[in-house]
Amino acid sequence: MLSFCDLKTDSRKGVTLISLVITIVLLIILASIGITSGVSVIRQSKMNRFTTEMNVMQTEVNDLYDRYSNGEDVLNLGNELDSQADEVFTSEASGITDKTGYRYYDQEAIQGLGIDGVEGEFYVNVEKRSVVSHDGFEYEGTTYYTLEQLPNGLYNVGYENRNTGEISFDLSCDNWTNGRSNIQVSNIEYSEGYIDKWQVQYKLEGQDYWSTSEDLSFFVDTPGMYTVRIVNGDIVSEEKQIEAVKANAPEILEGMTETTFKLPEGDSKGETIKLGDTAFNNNLWYDYGNSKWANSTTEDGSMWVWIPRFAYKITYDDPSDKSKGGTIDVRFLIGTSDQYYDNSGNIKTAKRATSKDEVVDTTSDYYVHPAFTDETNLDFANGGWDKELTGIWVAKFEAGYATGNNSAPKVSSNVNYSQDQVTASSEETGTGSTGYISARNWLDGTYGATTTSIKFPTFQPITYSMNYISISDSYDISRALTNNENIYGFNSSTTDSHLMKNSEWGAVAYLGWSKYGANGTEPYLNNINVNNNITSVYAVTGLTMGTTDEVDKTTSSSDITNINNRTGNIDSNGIYAWDQAEGQKASSTLNMYGVYDLSGGAWERTAGYIATGDPDLNEYGASVVVEGNISTKYATVYPHASNKNSNIDIMSEENYDLNTKIFGDAIRETSTSGTGTTSWNGDYSCFPSISFAIRGGGPWDISFAGLFYFYRTGGSSAYGGGFRPVLVAL
């Protein structure tokens, strides 16, 4: 009988005992691997079927969404939710808790869509492009109901960002049209190479699930803040946010043409594109979410900017010293209501002033800006109107001189103005010389009667600002823009024109300071003045040296000609124009879509005054001042101290301290004193002492000019004073 040692060493005996043991072990291992592999294959097969069927349904739902967007009634396809929905629509299961809008697609409903080979059943929300599995896919004790829930590695579209910082893309959003907005992904750059097909995922703030688009654009029908990412396989971009903003659509007035812009790039200056031009795209007319405000052009070439109705809330950087600045959060309102959408698409209601004696605190909540409200019952205390407004039109540039004979019939003046020279007879100017004629000479003695009698200004770039004009002249001309045979095409029965009030200046300034404008940045200063043989012409519209604090620059008419001929972003003798990359930063949006000349240019008269009884009020502002010294929809009366003081600074301080209730006008909310430079950005803050208010500052005011500049004036004509009108749909 052989011993164990014999078995171990005898190679002639065939399979030894050790070899047999090893073989058995190996067979067991191989059998185990086979079983495990079989389980893995089965699991992989189930997972592949789950993801394939989910993708098939997602593709079909995308098609249903397109049909729905084109007006087809597809929302009621499928069935009412079954009892299983209560288990699926939970935070612990699908992560989706809102069942609103979902329909149950069983096998019959799926076959009704013309889909074959899909064995699962689903819950579908067409409006949200959302697909949720009815039974889910179980893996290691967890059941998954959406593709987004699958752990990284289980599904070929992973959700772990393995390429942080390697993928970049741009987001844009169309204006709201037909109850929806289109968000587009563009300019995708991937450092590792080219990828043919990206998938877009997005969700509204507050939602806990991602919707999917197979295209690089998608429609949304709920305003709010959307998070967007793009994926391809296990490549996932960083997330970006864009707000689908629903501001009130502009009310196009008779004589207006919708206008948009091609912004300047590189060596190319910007372009103006109007409705009817081949390049005009109505869906891209405006986009307040990207600081592109709606513009229009009237028949004479004047340009206007739409300021939609909004509510706002102020947060001070230092509540103990509000002169240090802050942020203004704007919420666009729905129609003429006080309601707005928050970032999650929920409808909220803003507050509003309910009494002229109310002290409004706009740091506590959102308040409807008074420029858009019916303040008839409040005696127009805050600069409101006589009805609720969806928005207002503001002149894009301060008033300038129009070329040629643009007067309405029956005007006694024989003045002809050109860009280089103003010629007037001695009877008109009292001087018998070549020079400027005051705006009062542009109005004959019959103004206010049934006949029209005005030389109309224009509101265009690179035009001499209309100066040497009193507050009454500014007011009268602004009110007369809709007179018969005006140069703009306005109809007086449908359009009101008037001199800008402080409330309306405040509306432009607040929107400009918000994220929908320059986002807390002061526009560049228009610090250009003209020194040539037109001794009375001073400022030129739409120009800047590309700074907020540089001393004013004296130029000439020849420089202005060179500016008109410039190209690209090259300055002309240090001067940039409104349609250049640098020059556009002089607008309220820092691009061509905004309002210009708000900082510098000619300082602008506004329809606001102190009713002290001073002789200047009637001598220079008889048109503005109302008997009884009460506010109207055209002018705002500010409080004043009862006793006059020989020191006008003391009077300004006392009047400022009494101004505790009027809000929305970028005065008491954005400054701390009636004299000095205590407005935001160090702008001048000099409250009216005995008469009228002016805004914006002149080119010589350097860093003291700006959105929050306010100053006092007696109202007489001056070389540095101009104005700007506002239009309202009747």
Selection from 147, 101, 149 nearest residue 125 by Cα: 101
Selection from 275, 529, 296 nearest residue 395 by Cα: 296
Count the alpha carbons within 13 Å of 585 in the hemisphere toward its beta carbon: 15
pLDDT score of 426 more than 50: no
The token duo for 119 is 């064995």
Name the band, by pLDDT with cuts 50, 70 and 90, for residue 394.
very high
**Average confidence (pLDDT) over 180-187:** 93
Mean pLDDT value across the chain: 84
Model pLDDT for residues 629-659, shown as the tens digit of each residue: 899 999 999 999 987 778 999 999 999 999 9
pLDDT score of 494: 97
Model pLDDT for residues 205-235, shown as the tens digit of each residue: 998 888 989 889 999 999 999 999 998 877 8
pLDDT score of 342: 96
pLDDT score of 27: 55
How many C-beta neighbours within 10 Å does residue 454 have?
23
The token duo for 95 is 């992560």
Phi first, then psi, for residue 542 (nearest 5°) are 70, 25
The answer to whether residues 369 and 663 touch, using CB atoms and an 8 Å cutoff, is: no
The residues facing 307 across adjacent strands are 392
CA distances, 48 to each of 40, 114, 137, 155, 224 (Å): 12, 22, 10, 8, 35
Single-letter amino acid code for the residue at 680: W
pLDDT score of 59: 85
Q: From CA 121, how far away is CA 109, in angstroms rounded?
A: 9
pLDDT score of 445 more than 50: no
The residue that leads in pLDDT, 716 or 566, is 716
**Average confidence (pLDDT) over 463-482:** 91
Q: From CA 353, how far away is CA 9, in angstroms rounded?
A: 106
Q: From CA 720, how far away is CA 465, in angstroms rounded?
A: 9
The answer to whether residues 730 and 495 touch, using CB atoms and an 8 Å cutoff, is: yes
Structure-token match 């009108």, residue found: 725
Sign of CA dihedral 598, 419, 457, 413: positive
CA distances, 363 to each of 110, 329, 668, 671, 674 (Å): 53, 10, 13, 14, 21
* Domains along the sequence of the chain with CATH: 37-149 (no CATH), 167-244 (2.60.40.10)
Selection from 680, 289, 381 nearest residue 522 by Cα: 680
Alpha helices (H) in 73-130, listed in sequence order:
85-88, 107-112
pLDDT score of 114: 87
**Average confidence (pLDDT) over 526-535:** 72
Q: Any residues with CB less than 8 A from the CB of 108 and at least 6 apart, and which? A: none
Q: From CA 346, how far away is CA 125, in angstroms rounded?
A: 19
**Average confidence (pLDDT) over 468-479:** 92
Selection from 299, 292, 194, 279 nearest residue 245 by Cα: 292
pLDDT score of 335 more than 60: yes
Model pLDDT for residues 29-80, shown as the tens digit of each residue: 445 444 444 445 566 677 778 888 888 898 888 888 888 878 888 999 999 9
The token duo for 141 is 């004790």
pLDDT score of 234: 76
pLDDT score of 160: 40
Selection from 163, 151, 99, 107 nearest residue 130 by Cα: 99
**Average confidence (pLDDT) over 459-483:** 92
The token duo for 243 is 């707000």
Alpha helices (H) in 426-541, listed in sequence order:
426-429, 471-479, 502-513
Selection from 548, 579, 515 nearest residue 707 by Cα: 548
pLDDT score of 411: 26
Q: From CA 400, how far away is CA 477, in angstroms rounded?
A: 12
pLDDT score of 614 more than 50: yes
The residue that leads in pLDDT, 716 or 627, is 716
Q: From CA 343, how far away is CA 515, in angstroms rounded?
A: 14
- Residue by residue, DSSP assigns 431-495 as S-SSS---GGGGB-TTTTSSS--BPPPB--SS-BB--S--HHHHHHHHHTTTSTT-SS---TTTE
Strands (DSSP E) found in 398-538: 416-417, 422-423, 495-499, 528-530
Model pLDDT for residues 118-170, shown as the tens digit of each residue: 899 999 999 888 899 999 988 878 898 988 787 654 543 333 444 444 789 99
Model pLDDT for residues 227-269, shown as the tens digit of each residue: 999 988 778 899 999 999 999 999 999 999 999 999 998 778 9
pLDDT score of 3 more than 70: no
Q: Residue 403 in 3-state DSSP?
A: coil
- Kindly tell me the burial class for residue 83, based on how many C-beta atoms sit within 10 Å of its own C-beta (0-12, 13-18, 19 or more): exposed
The residue that leads in pLDDT, 95 or 582, is 582
**Average confidence (pLDDT) over 695-710:** 95
How many C-beta neighbours within 10 Å does residue 648 have?
15
The answer to whether residues 258 and 273 touch, using CB atoms and an 8 Å cutoff, is: no
Sign of CA dihedral 300, 305, 309, 311: negative
The token duo for 614 is 């001073």
Q: What is the pTM of this model?
A: 0.78
Q: From CA 361, how far away is CA 352, in angstroms rounded?
A: 10
Selection from 296, 328, 162, 175 nearest residue 244 by Cα: 175
The answer to whether residues 641 and 651 touch, using CB atoms and an 8 Å cutoff, is: yes
Q: Which long-range contacts (CB under 8 A, 24 or more apart) does 195-198 make?
A: 195/232, 195/235, 197/232, 198/230, 198/231, 198/232
Sign of CA dihedral 155, 156, 157, 161: positive
Number of alpha helices (DSSP H) and beta strands (DSSP E) in the chain: 10, 36
pLDDT score of 452: 34
Single-letter amino acid code for the residue at 243: E
